[in-house]
């Protein structure tokens, strides 16, 4: 009895496979594929980066800050550098006329003690100057910090040299690499975050304090993982799928349900549903989900590829079906559409069942033959 049930199940699976291919195959023509801009990549096993995503901002480093002040009281008689200017160490930024007696009164020069960008200035022509007042603030932005808010449970994944890919929205989509330096002095008990400080080189001075940043922190890496680009995975929740190029039909794409694992900013881990070497659609995958095809049916595509007729569900026609199709129907006037498909599914079920029965019986046959010999 159990063998009979197994035969029925295998036969049903053979028929279901044919119907599944009909439902999940999108067939285009050359023009339609070009219009959708279809691009593919080969699914392959490789390294997968485990990322921690965090938000942060650009800040100046502790050692970058310097100020300009006067040693004597007086008034400003000349301003040489202004807010927003970049200066070098030793540059004269202003001249002060002393209040000490003299004819003319003594004049001293205010010097930048460190290179950088003048971010604040209180130096104005004729303004009074006192030794206790900071006149200019200069920041050396050749190197900056990016301070990110990292969940405390992820902090253990960060250590000296941990890398992060950073996108600063003010600079567009440019990706900049930074290195982890240290944590902030204290964590936030309410939000559950701790500040993580990354050092970022800024030779062209484009990065300014206060700019918002998005960080992808590389917490680890696993090898031998089957991955595809994020753009290729469609659907939501537990109903994810990709489109793969059909292995035998031109301009045909099969919708393949997949189970995904982790994802990072570029890749998605595929747990099941794909094999290495599958040609996965990236660009145009979203459009394929809503495509009605290019006017070519599965039957027509298979007929052209194999040179012999097929049913509408893609299964090969039997000699009887071909003869009935050529004659336009049988004597009772029955059509040859869905009824032919049902007969083929029945034939496939019986054939698969017989093959399975032979496989089950083969060990007993060889055992009996061995005992007789």
- Is the pLDDT score of 325 beyond 60? yes
Task: Count Cβ atoms within 10 A of the Cβ of residue 191 and give its class: 0-12 exposed, 13-18 middle, 19 or more buried.
Answer: exposed
Looking at residue 347, its pLDDT comes to 55
The structure tokens listed for 287 are 């459009």
340 domain residue, yes or no: no
Q: What residues make up the domain containing 77?
A: 64-139
Position 292 scores a pLDDT of 58
pLDDT at 273: 92
Report the pLDDT value the prediction gives residue 338, as an integer from 0 to 100. Answer: 43
56 and 171 housed in the same domain: yes
What mean pLDDT comes out for the span 252-260? Answer: 92
Statement to judge: residues 146 and 215 lie in one domain? yes
Q: Are residues 76 and 218 in the same domain?
A: no
Answer yes or no: is 103 within a domain: yes
Residues 75 and 126 in one domain: yes
Single residue among 222, 240, 264 that ends a domain in this structure: 222
| Tens-digit pLDDT profile for residues 93-133 | 999 999 888 888 999 999 999 999 999 999 999 999 999 89
pLDDT score recorded for residue 110: 95
Together in a domain, 156 and 119? no
Residue that is written with structure tokens 């449970």 in the block: 153
Q: Are residues 157 and 201 in the same domain?
A: yes
Q: What distance in Å separates the CA atoms of residue 14 and residue 199, rounded to the nearest whole number? A: 59
Q: What percent of the chain has pLDDT over 70?
A: 72
Model pTM score: 0.59
The pair of three-digit structure tokens given for residue 320, joined into one six-digit string: 């009887």
For 58, the enclosing helix (H) or strand (E) is strand 44-60
Single out the residue in 187, 222, 257 at which a domain terminates. 222
pLDDT band at 14, cuts 50/70/90? very low
Q: What is the pLDDT of residue 238?
A: 83
* Within-domain flag for 17: no
Task: Assess if residue 125 is contained within a domain.
Answer: yes
pLDDT above 90 covers a percentage of the chain that reads: 50
**Contacts (Cβ under 8 Å, ≥6 apart) of 294:** 27, 28, 29, 31, 32, 33, 251
Question: Is residue 132 domain-shared with residue 165, that is, in the same domain?
Answer: no
The number of distinct structural domains making up the chain is 2
Task: Give a yes or no: residue 234 inside a domain.
Answer: no
So what's the pLDDT on residue 24?
77
Helices H / strands E in the chain, number of each: 6, 21
CATH number of the domain within which 82 lies: 2.40.50.100
> CATH no. for residue 215?
2.40.30.170
Task: Tell me the three state secondary structure of residue 121.
Answer: strand
180 and 109 assigned to the same domain:
no
**Nearest in space to 348 (alpha carbons), one of 309, 311, 293:** 311
Q: At 320, is the pLDDT very low, low, confident or very high (cuts 50, 70, 90)?
A: low
pLDDT score of 340: 44
Tell me which of 81, 104, 139 is where a domain ends. 139
- How do residues 277-296 score in pLDDT, each as one tens digit? 999 999 988 888 877 554 55
Q: Is residue 208 part of a domain?
A: yes
Please tell me the least confidently modeled range out of 69-78, 187-196, 241-250, 331-340: 331-340
56 plus 194 within the same structural domain: yes
Say if residue 111 is in the same domain as residue 70: yes
331: CB partners within 8 A, 6+ apart: none
Residues 159 and 109 in one domain: no
Q: Does the residue 206 lie in any domain?
A: yes
Q: With respect to residue 118, please indicate whether it lies within any of the assigned structural domains.
A: yes
Same-domain status, 95 and 146:
no
Residues in Cβ contact with 76 at an 8 Å cutoff, skipping those fewer than 6 apart:
94, 95, 96, 97, 123, 124, 125, 126, 127, 129
**CB of 55 within 8 A of CB of 149?**
yes
């Amino acid at each position: 009895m159990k063998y009979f049930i197994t035969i029925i199940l295998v036969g049903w699976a053979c028929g279901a496979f044919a119907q599944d291919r009909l439902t999940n195959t999108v067939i285009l023509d050359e023009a339609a594929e070009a219009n959708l801009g279809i691009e593919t990549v080969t699914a392959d096993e490789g390294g997968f980066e485990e990322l921690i995503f965090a938000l942060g901002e650009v800040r100046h480093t502790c050692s970058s800050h310097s100020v300009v002040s006067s040693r004597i009281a007086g008034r400003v008689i000349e301003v040489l550098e202004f807010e927003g200017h970049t200066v070098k160490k030793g540059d004269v930024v202003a001249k002060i006329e002393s209040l000490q007696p003299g004819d003319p009164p003594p004049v001293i020069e205010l010097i930048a003690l460190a290179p950088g960008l003048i971010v604040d200035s209180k130096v104005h022509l004729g303004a009074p100057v006192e030794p206790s007042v900071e006149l200019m603030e200069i920041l050396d932005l050749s190197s900056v910090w990016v301070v990110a808010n990292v969940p405390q449970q992820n902090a253990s994944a960060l250590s000296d040299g941990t890398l992060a890919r950073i996108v600063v929205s003010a600079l567009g989509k440019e990706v900049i690499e930074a290195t982890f330096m240290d944590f902030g002095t204290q964590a936030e008990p309410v939000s559950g975050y701790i500040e993580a400080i990354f050092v970022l080189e800024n030779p062209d001075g484009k990065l300014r304090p206060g700019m918002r940043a998005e960080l992808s922190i590389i917490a680890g890496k696993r090898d031998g993982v089957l991955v595809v680009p994020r753009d290729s995975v469609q659907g939501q929740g537990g109903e994810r799928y990709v489109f793969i190029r059909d292995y035998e039909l031109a301009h045909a794409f099969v919708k393949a349900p997949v189970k995904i694992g982790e994802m990072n900013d570029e890749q998605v881990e595929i747990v099941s549903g794909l094999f290495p070497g599958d040609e996965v659609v990236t660009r145009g995958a979203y459009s394929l989900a809503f495509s009605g095809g290019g006017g070519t049916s599965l039957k027509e595509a298979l007929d052209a590829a194999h040179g012999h007729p097929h049913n509408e569900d893609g299964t090969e026609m039997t000699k009887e079906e071909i003869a009935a199709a050529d004659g336009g129907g049988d004597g009772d006037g029955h059509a040859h559409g869905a009824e032919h498909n049902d007969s083929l599914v029945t034939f496939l079920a019986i054939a698969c069942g017989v093959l399975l029965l032979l496989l089950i019986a083969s060990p007993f046959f060889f055992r009996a033959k061995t005992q007789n010999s």
